[in-house]
Structure 1
Amino acid sequence: MDNSTLPTLQPPTASIFTTLLSNGPSYLTAHPVLLVLAVILLLLATTRYLSSRSTPPRKSSNGSPSPIPAVSYTLPLLGHLPAMAYDAAAFTRNLRDIYRSSGAYSLNFGGTVHNIIFAPALATSMLNQPTANAEAETVFKSLMGRVFGWPIVAESEGYDAFLAPLNALYVNFSSKEPLDAMVGRTAERVRAMIGEFVTGNESQVDQTLWERFANAEVKRDAKGEEVVEVDLLELVRDWCARAANASIIGSDFVNNFPEFWKDLYEMDRGFLLLATGLPRWLPIPPLTRAHLARKRMLDSLELFERAVDKHGDGEDAGAEWRELDDVGPVVKGRLELYRKYGISMRARAATELALMWAANANSNSLVFWMLERVYADKALLALLRREIAPYARPAQSTSDFGMPELPRIEVLDVEGICSSCPLLKSCYIECLRVDTASWSLKIVKEDFVLAPRDKEAQRWMLRKGEFAHVAHDLHNTDPNVFEHPDVWKPDRHVKYDEDGKVVGADFGSMRPYGGGGHMCKGRQFAYKECMMFVAAIIAMWDIDPVGGGEWKMPKHKKATGVYNTSSPTRVWVKRRTLP
């Protein structure tokens, strides 16, 4: 594509064109509609021409840094915003193919320059830039206020002082010993809860909370066997939340606020609208619901913070807060920081809300996509059950009266699942490739040269005030990197030695957790919980489409990281017949 080539504007008719030439301004004055049309066409053509001229050569001839190639646009002021709003995925992927040799391109959003980086070498360089060149803290601070409700205006200085020690705390508690403790406690809850993934109880009074949220109904299949029909997305997300979050925020909070996770997913649906800073009173239903859900969650978390504060002073926090000792090390460790920096209760609540969102919004939805993919392929399901058998072993015992008890997970070896099940790990990575669309954003603070390690490669100049986006999904869906990128292939990431023996599975050139100083701090916990959740569920339960027909994969719906879906996700669940 030659970005300096201008489109030829054809006149509506030859007769109008001739008339305009002969009569000039008098004709346009007599026909104001044509005058407006002519002005608009001239403005669009001029905008297109000027934006095309701003496009630099793809690669400098002498190896000196050049600005990242700019994509021409037609609409002044708006730039490429209409194209992004119409179909961002198709638009950005098409540009990736056009600017493949550059590894990046720049777009104009309302007069601001946004550099879209997709080549792995450039992405790695961008993610590892020092904060003096490019930083994400400004973006995070904005999100903390607009999305999570931190009182930025009143406590801006406190936030700035609090941020560095808070990040250091995250690093400390993602080390082996605290991580192992959190994973171990989560595994205990999985073993206790997996037998009630669905209960088969017809009355909602007797159902679990996750069954109620999933609108569970007892049905009979074609063989006359009892099955439970549920919304799989709602069932999985809520079950995972209750299994994992006690190890983070404590069992008291999980038990005292059973509606919290429902509100969390409601807020997540309006995340992007909240991030714009739009006020609550605008008549946009998802925005209104997100504001209301956030307020309820902040109120709940503020009650929790007051209880933790009292407990930290050795005071009685109240009858509903008797198990605060089991609050996870990350949350418990922040109390000293809150006090040291004078962080208000509302700001503390906003900090915990951000943690709860980060721990749940993406990983729990990813478990749903893994289950959708695995159960859709019965041959794959059989292979995975064989692979996990030594590490996720169900058992059924009999009571003292000779009656069979409900099946349970006798062995749940998380380390074995994560280190010795390469096919399951490959499925996890493949879902991160196909079922997520994450970008990493930084603001350029000073002019700097973006260069890959290859000294012969083209270097690019980024200017102060520009934005830099590492578009992970553009790499993950690149047909030059992944054969048939739109196809979910379970063993795509399995690695073999020279003798053809499986040696593991890895991410290759994928960077699903970002990189540099802002790499996801909870990535190891997220990986281990996803692997154990999926292993436990497929070891214990059979899942089929409603009616036992063909499995229809839900359609993706754009979200903040892992895709959501608006497609029906009703399925039949029943206990697996153990071998």
Structure 2
Amino acid sequence: MVRSLFKQRQSTSAEPCINYLLDNNFGSNSRARKPGREGTYHGESSKWIRLLVEEPYITDISSVLVKEIERTTPSLVSFTSSVVDQYPWERISGVALQNEASGERVCITKLYSLISGFVGNLSVNILMGKTLLDVYPNVLPDISTFNSKFNAMLLGIQRWIPFPGLVNAYLARRRLLICLTVQNAIFSQIENGQEPEAVWRDLDDVSAAVQARMRERIKNGYSVEYAAAEDLSLLWAVTVRANALIFWNLVHILADPKLHAEVLGEIGPYAKLKRSNSATFGLPEPPQVSLDIDNLIGSCPLLMATQRETSRLYSTPYTYRKVTSNINLTESDEDASLNSRDVQTYHLSEGDYVVIPHSLRNRNPLYNNSPDSFDPRRHLIKSTEADDLEDKKDPQDVVNEDERDCSEGWDDPASVCWKLEQRKVIGTLAAILVTWDIKPAEGEDWQVPNRRSGSLIDEPKDIQVMLKMKS
């Protein structure tokens, strides 16, 4: 049924639903929009929607992303007790130092807070430039607070209604809109040849895609307040889901020793921790991570299967569409047979709305055996072509492409960020696995934490872990 809808995409529109999200959740208003909104992020005819999926932007952003993952992963924790000298993501995760009997230093920390802060900093810096977090260091905590009541805002619950945590979420959104409004105003000043404040003079590291987006909005006369609402939607989309996906995926791999060993063996040729024998001023050079991201995605089927299973199990994606011309949706023969009935056809009239909660299918036992269990091998199939058998006695596990149709978090064809998000998740996960030894605090066995419902993905209860760098 979902495939049938996407095949008739020209008869539906996401525009009214996106406008509703912009107004209710991201603080925009209908007066700030123009028909067609040429050059903006949202809107199916826009230029911006292509900036993260077409050249040269996708290659440029992906290249910077991988280099930043390689550079920063060995700095996941700094092994310093001074809060002033810690990285921003350490300060929000309660890092504490501990010396083992062998003399090795280990860190005790909250894993989800650490991962969220680390990946969030990476995402914001790559897209929006480092100055934004330098001037407004609370952007990521505010995104977390805002996201915690995202569904309440989606329902239109106003801040004056007594709803736990809602006022704080609205205040966090206000602070986010202020800082993004200022950044857009400063960029506009620079484009007009004016001199900005000293703290904002370095915006050269804002990604080329985002700069192109800002210029399109300036050219088409959009206000900086409207630009801030669109930028907030982007920051929310590129941080919230990736942070939780990496955490859930990492915990499930670490909690299964056999799976952990198999994944490490698979990614070994493409993700390496390199140590230098040279020293600077008497201090050893820090280790470096080397990633071959294309082969991690294309030649590591088990790693990719763990990512897909994590997305299936925890993502809560929705597709919203308004019907713009009458259509008929016919379910597949497979769906009809699973429900023991004849094939059904549904008529949708112009003006109807369609909501697809993909998680219902992902967690339906008709489509997935033991849907509440983490089983990445369900996404692997055996490839037994005759040519392969001549070279290999054992069949090769490959990702089942037929399962990729619009069923998980980033598989909606309308998504503009899934390629970038995939590289971020896979690259960060592989880099952490080869760089850090992570165990539950106090020698406990691994326990997958409880989860709570979220906007894009179910979020975990935080857990305490011990980290030390692999030798």
- What TM-score, normalized to structure 1? 0.73
Q: Which residue of the partner structure matches residue 383 of structure 1?
A: 262
Q: Which residue in 1 is equivalent to 2:418?
A: 523
Partner of 2:71: 192
Q: Give the 3-state SS of the residue equivalent to 1:362 in structure 2.
A: helix
Contact kept, 8 Å, 1:158 with 1:342, in 2: the verdict is: no
Rate the CA distance shift 1:514–1:458 in 2: closer, same or farther, 3 A. Answer: farther
**Separation of aligned partners in 2, 1:205 and 1:231:** 19
Pick which of 521-530 and 457-466 moved more. 457-466
Q: What CA distance in whole angstroms lies between the structure 2 residues aligned with 1:563 and 1:357? A: 15
Distance change in 2, residues 1:515/1:184 (3 Å): closer
Deviation at 1:267, TM superposition (A): 0.6
SS at match of 2:366: coil
Any conservation in 1 of the 2:51–2:58 contact (CA below 8 Å)? no
Q: Residue by residue, what CA displacement relative to the aligned partner does 1:302-355 show, whole Å, maximum 9, x if unpaired? A: 111111112222332232223322211221111232123321111111111111
Distance 2:302 2:90 in 1: 30
2:326–2:349 Cα contact (<8 Å) kept: yes
Give the whole-Å Cα distance in 1 for the aligned partners of 2:155 and 2:291.
Answer: 43
Task: Select 2:32's aligned residue among 155, 159, 163.
Answer: 155
Q: Aligned residue for 1:20?
A: none
Q: Deviations over 1:461-500 (max 9, x none)?
A: 2345543222311221222322222110133222331144
Hey, what does 1:576 align to over in structure 2?
470
- 1:532 lines up with 2:427 in the alignment: yes
- The structural deviation recorded for 1:173 is 3.5
Does structure 1 residue 562 correspond to structure 2 residue 457?
Answer: yes
Contact 1:248/1:327 (8 A) holds in 2 = yes
Contact persistence 2:53–2:417 (CA under 8 A): yes
Per the TM alignment, residue 502 of structure 1 is displaced from its structure 2 partner at its CA by 2.1
Q: Counterpart in 2 of 1:135? A: 13
Cα offsets for 1:392-447 (capped at 9, x unmatched): 11122233489673652342221121111111111110101111122212234554
Q: Is the contact between residue 301 and residue 380 of structure 2 (CA under 8 Å) also seen in structure 1?
A: yes
Inter-partner Cα distance in structure 2 for 1:172 and 1:202: 42
1:256–1:192 distance in 2 versus 1, CA, 3 Å: farther
Instruction: Provide closer, same or farther for how the CA distance between residues 410 and 218 of structure 1 changes in structure 2, counting only shifts above 3 A.
Output: closer
C-alpha distance in structure 1 between counterparts of 2:278 and 2:151, whole Å: 52
Q: Which has the higher contact order (CA 8 A, sep 6+)?
A: 2
Q: Tell me which of 336, 339, 346 is aligned to 2:225.
A: 346
SS in structure 2 of the partner of residue 383 of structure 1: helix
Match of 1:429 in 2: 308
2:365 is aligned, of 460, 479, 484, to 479
CA change 1:341–1:158 in 2 (3 A) is: farther
Q: Is 498-507 or 365-374 further displaced after alignment? A: 498-507
Q: Is the 8 A contact 2:267 2:430 kept in 1?
A: yes
Q: Match for 1:207 among 71, 79, 86?
A: 86
Partner deviation per Cα, 1:203-258 (whole Å, 9 max, x = no partner): 21221110111111113457664321111111101101222322211122233222
CA displacement at 1:556 relative to structure 2: 1.8
After superposition, residues 257-296 of structure 1 pair within 5 angstroms as: 257-296=136-175
Q: Which secondary structure state, in structure 1, belongs to the residue aligned with residue 204 of structure 2?
A: helix
Of residues 191, 195, 200, the one that matches 1:312 is 191
Q: C-alpha distance in 2, partners of 1:477/1:314? A: 54
Residues 1:171 and 1:285: Cα distance change in structure 2 (over 3 Å) = same
Give the letter for the 2:443 counterpart: G
Larger mean Cα displacement after TM superposition, 215-224 or 283-292: 215-224
Structure with higher Rg: it is 1
- Identical aligned residues as a percent: 24
Give the match's secondary structure for 1:324: coil
Aligned counterparts of 2:131 and 2:381: Cα–Cα separation in 1: 43
Is the contact between residue 246 and residue 425 of structure 2 (CA under 8 Å) also seen in structure 1? yes
Structure 1 stretch displaced more, 355-364 or 336-345: 336-345
Which residue of structure 2 aligns with residue 489 of structure 1? Answer: 375
- Please state if 1:299 is matched with 2:178: yes
- Specify the SS of the correspondent of 2:27: coil
Query: Which whole-Å CA distance do the structure 2 matches of 1:400 and 1:480 have between them?
Result: 59
SS at match of 2:56: helix
Aligned mates of 1:165, 1:131 — CA distance in 2? 10
The AA in structure 2 aligned to 1:151 is: N
Per-residue CA deviations over 1:488-539 (Å, capped at 9, x if unaligned) read 01332223311443253245334225777x6211110000110000011011
Q: What's the RMSD between the two structures over aligned residues?
A: 2.5
Q: After the TM superposition, which of the residue ranges 548-557 and 492-501 deviates more from structure 2?
A: 492-501
Q: Is the 8 A contact 1:396 1:404 kept in 2?
A: no
* Aligned residue in 2 for 1:448: 327
Q: Is the 8 A contact 1:513 1:519 kept in 2?
A: no
Letter in 2 for 1:210: W
State the partner residue of 1:229: 108
**Matches of 1:335 and 1:177, distance apart in 2:** 17
Amino acid corresponding to residue 76 of structure 2 in structure 1: F
Q: Deviations over 1:257-282 (max 9, x none)?
A: 22101111111111011112222222
Q: What TM-score, normalized to structure 2?
A: 0.89
Within the alignment, does 1:545 sit opposite 2:451 as a pair? no
Specify the alignment match of 1:368 in structure 2: 247
Indicate if the aligned counterparts of 1:494 and 1:502 stay in contact, CA closer than 8 A: no
Structure 1: 5+ residue runs without aligned partners?
Answer: 1-121
The one-letter amino acid paired with 1:548 is: G
| Alignment partner of 1:333 is 2:219 | no
Q: Is the CA contact 2:22–2:28 (under 8 Å) kept in the aligned structure 1?
A: yes
Report the Cα distance in structure 1 between the residues aligned to 2:78 and 2:71, rounded to whole angstroms.
13
**Structure 1 residues 416 and 519: CA distance shift in structure 2, 3 A:** same
Q: Is the 8 A contact 1:219 1:229 kept in 2?
A: yes
Find the counterpart in structure 2 of residue 459 from structure 1: 345
Partner of 1:508 in structure 2? 402
Paired with 1:347 and 1:308, the residues of 2 have a C-alpha distance of 14
CA contact (8 A) 1:441 1:467 kept: yes
SS of structure 1 residue aligned to 2:459: coil
Structure 2 CA distance for partners of 1:383 and 1:208, relative to 1, 3 Å: same
Write the mapping of 1:5-44 to structure 2, written as runs, cut at 5 A.
none
- Aligned residue number for residue 146 of structure 1: 24
Amino acid at match of 2:21: L
Distance 2:233 2:147 in 1: 11
